[in-house]
Structure 1
Amino acid sequence: MKLFVSTLAAAVFGLSALNTADAQQNQPACSSVYTRPELLSLTPAQWTNTRNVLSAMQRDGWFGWFAYLHNQWFSQIHGNSQFFPFHRRFVHDWESVGRRYSGSFVQPYWDEMRDYRVPAASQVLTSNWVGGNGQGANRCVTNGNQGGWTMSFPSNHCFSRNFGNNGNPTSWYSPEYIQSFIQRDTTMAQFRPDIEYSLHGVVHINIGGDMLQGYSPNDWIFMLHHTNIDRLWWQWQLNNRMWTMDGPNFDNSAISLDTNIAYYNQPIRSVMQLGYGSMCYQYASNPIRRRALDSGLESALINSLPKDVLSAWFPDTAKKPAIVALRPPPPLASAAPGVSSGSGMPYPAKLTQQWIQMHKYNKADVDKVESDARKFVDAMNKAGYRSPV
């Protein structure tokens, strides 16, 4: 294991060395920028190329290396403001390794909020994509792009998933609630726990298996998930918060743009602005599915919610003029028996005590986020809001 780690560490340190120059707020724009797509928007050829790259990365030990690295720095990168910048840089390094195998490889994201009502019914979790729940005593995954894999860290074991709630994960966080965070939160000290203790945690917990461990990068869903988390951070940054970085560091000192990212000898400011410095990627601003969803949500919010409720939970949307005669698009999420799109909003899943203890979270902070989520659902349902998702 020591030889494995030292060999791969040398390779990654070599990769990191390309990007360790101090970056200022006016760092140069990238000469070219590639776009990270939504997973389900990939063409068959793109998906085949992605699968080939991932198989090569598994063969050469990269899944093990990134699982090791995340596990080693686990306590420093959760529960504090390192959360977003570390994972942005971490996923970027992962993607950069993949682009060595194929210059057209780009790390996609999973827009999990679209599947929040019935996560297990997501098209993403089918054999044609990333596969489903594990089977047998060891919860080994047998289908999807990682089906039948043996993972090397922390020791050889079958790649596993163990979906929550006996294989039928409880609803997680709606796109409306995440959009509410993006509009309401003005500091990183607010936004980080609101995301980390909600969508971030429940996806890890409800996928389970390797995703439930410190070495969660064994599951490629980790990368899909954290690319989406990064996309949400970018949306928040674009709301006049491009350079907002505050709150605690992992040692409880005050974090700033000049604080080094955990593990990386690189200041946080160097990863803050996409399209600049080494962050030469962007997110599709309006893929067809995303555009339809965003249009439907905004129309539903403005037309369905009383002004006081809209202002309390969606202050930016409340400032927009009323949208009259706009009809939300057809439901975009798959409906399971007994749960239909457009019905009342369900309460989201909560973090487990095991997960809270594992991360050493402050229970009161977690309770605050979860209480806010339930108040949000109550307000939406009391107002008679019907989501297009």
Structure 2
Amino acid sequence: MYTRQNQKDLTSAQKKRFTSAVLELKRNGVYDSFVRTHDKYFVPDRDRKLRVGHMSPSFFPWHRRYLLEFEKQLQSVDPGVSIPYWDWTTDNSPVSSLWADDFLGGTGRADDRRVMTGPFAYDRGGWTVTVGLTEAAFLTRNLGRPQNPIALPTAAELQWAVDDPAYDVAPWDSTATAGGFRNKLEGWSAPKAERWRNHNKVHQWVGGHMTGGTAPNDPAFWLHHAFVDLVWDRWQARHPGSGYQPASPPVLGDPQRGRVIALDQPMPPWNVTPREMLNHQGLYRYA
């Protein structure tokens, strides 16, 4: 059993150990394999294929397993490392501690969004982007999107999602506007005046490489999704009688049949089911 800590509570030594382990996975090629996996399973609604990572009920259990696989690789480098989490409702500024030079580095420069500070700056020599949306070999960010400002989600926006007692609702995709914690936290189910909420809004606020299927190119991805995982815990504690939906696969004739994962169906690429990912007792805890 190990602990995932709030990033703001990490010591300088812990930050160094985390970033050093991440850099080693980048050096040996393991890191980029994780980026490719996320990109492969980033399937939008409009594709008539299985959606397992996003815009679907398995958003939470799929990413829980994905983070566990990454954490296992980090711990193969340094057994004392775990993924910290970033509570974006409180650490909500481009000068928050996670963007410091001794941790993730800061925003990108104005002309090309190139990250110039921290261990993942291209000029440091250890972070070349090889899987991405652009031709750029350097990591890009645009924290807060100053030219068209966007704010990180508030505690109230997060609570709006956590308060919903339904895990997810038909049609189990980004258009599920009748409610459902999953779509509210993933962030497609936003009020008309907004385009994004919660998880999605964070990706847009960071900008650069965080805005597409290859978002894990930015190590901030792991801290963001560790917090999403923690919020799923909070929702389960708040609604103990509410379980994963759909419990059974959509019926024949339902357009979502074969496109979403039910409770006991295997999630590629690991062949584990959402049921197996419903809790993490004995593996890790959150501080």
Q: Distance in 2 between matches of 1:274 and 1:81?
A: 18
Whether 2:260 is the aligned partner of 1:252: answer no
Letter paired with 2:226? T
Q: State the 1:188 CA deviation.
A: 3.0
Unaligned runs of 5+ in 2: 44-50, 170-179, 188-196
CA contact (8 A) 1:120 1:169 kept: no
Equivalences for 1:150-165 in 2 at 5 Å? 150-154=128-132, 157-165=137-145
1:168–1:224 CA distance, 2 compared to 1 (3 A): farther
1:171 pairs with one of 145, 148, 151:
151
The SS at the match of 2:238 is coil
Alignment partner, residue 204 of structure 1: 203
CA contact (8 A) 1:120 1:168 kept: no
1:85–1:165 CA distance, 2 compared to 1 (3 A): same
Alignment partner, residue 80 of structure 1: 56
1:272 pairs with one of 271, 274, 278:
278
1:142 pairs with one of 104, 111, 116:
116
Alignment partner, residue 311 of structure 1: none
CA contact (8 A) 1:129 1:144 kept: yes
Q: Distance in 2 between matches of 1:110 and 1:168?
A: 23
Letter paired with 2:159? Q
CA displacement 1:251-271 (0-9 Å, x = unmatched): 723643202123221111111
The SS at the match of 1:181 is helix
TM-score, length of structure 2 as denominator length: 0.79
- Between 1:149-158 and 1:97-106, the stretch displaced more is 149-158
Alignment partner, residue 54 of structure 1: 22
Alignment partner, residue 285 of structure 2: 282
Alignment partner, residue 213 of structure 2: 214
Q: State the 1:62 CA deviation.
A: 2.4
Alignment partner, residue 185 of structure 2: 195
Aligned Cα RMSD in Å?
2.3
Equivalences for 1:92-111 in 2 at 5 Å? 92-111=68-87
The count of residues paired between Structure 1 and Structure 2 equals: 247
Alignment partner, residue 43 of structure 1: 11
Q: Distance in 2 between matches of 1:229 and 1:252?
A: 25
TM-score, length of structure 1 as denominator length: 0.59
Letter paired with 1:39? Q
Q: Distance in 2 between matches of 1:132 and 1:143?
A: 6
2:36 pairs with one of 59, 68, 76:
68
1:168–1:42 CA distance, 2 compared to 1 (3 A): farther
Q: State the 1:123 CA deviation.
A: 2.6
CA displacement 1:80-116 (0-9 Å, x = unmatched): 1011111111111111100000110110000111034
1:156–1:139 CA distance, 2 compared to 1 (3 A): closer
CA contact (8 A) 2:209 2:218 kept: yes
Q: State the 1:243 CA deviation.
A: 6.8
Alignment partner, residue 163 of structure 2: 183
**Percent identity of the aligned residues?**
28
The SS at the match of 1:145 is coil
CA contact (8 A) 2:108 2:115 kept: yes
The SS at the match of 2:270 is coil
Q: Distance in 2 between matches of 1:168 and 1:115?
A: 20
1:225–1:167 CA distance, 2 compared to 1 (3 A): farther
Letter paired with 2:68? H
CA contact (8 A) 2:165 2:242 kept: no
Unaligned runs of 5+ in 1: 1-32, 285-389
1:102–1:140 CA distance, 2 compared to 1 (3 A): same
2:268 pairs with one of 262, 266, 273:
262
Greater percentage in helix: 1
CA contact (8 A) 2:4 2:82 kept: yes
1:92–1:252 CA distance, 2 compared to 1 (3 A): same
The SS at the match of 2:94 is helix
Q: State the 1:136 CA deviation.
A: 5.4
1:243–1:63 CA distance, 2 compared to 1 (3 A): farther
Q: Distance in 2 between matches of 1:233 and 1:265?
A: 21
CA displacement 1:196-234 (0-9 Å, x = unmatched): 111111111111111112111010111000010000001
- Larger Cα-atom Rg: 1
Q: Distance in 1 between matches of 2:77 and 2:96?
A: 29
Q: Distance in 1 between matches of 2:236 and 2:76?
A: 29
CA contact (8 A) 2:106 2:115 kept: yes
Q: State the 1:138 CA deviation.
A: 3.3
CA contact (8 A) 2:153 2:202 kept: no
1:70–1:122 CA distance, 2 compared to 1 (3 A): same
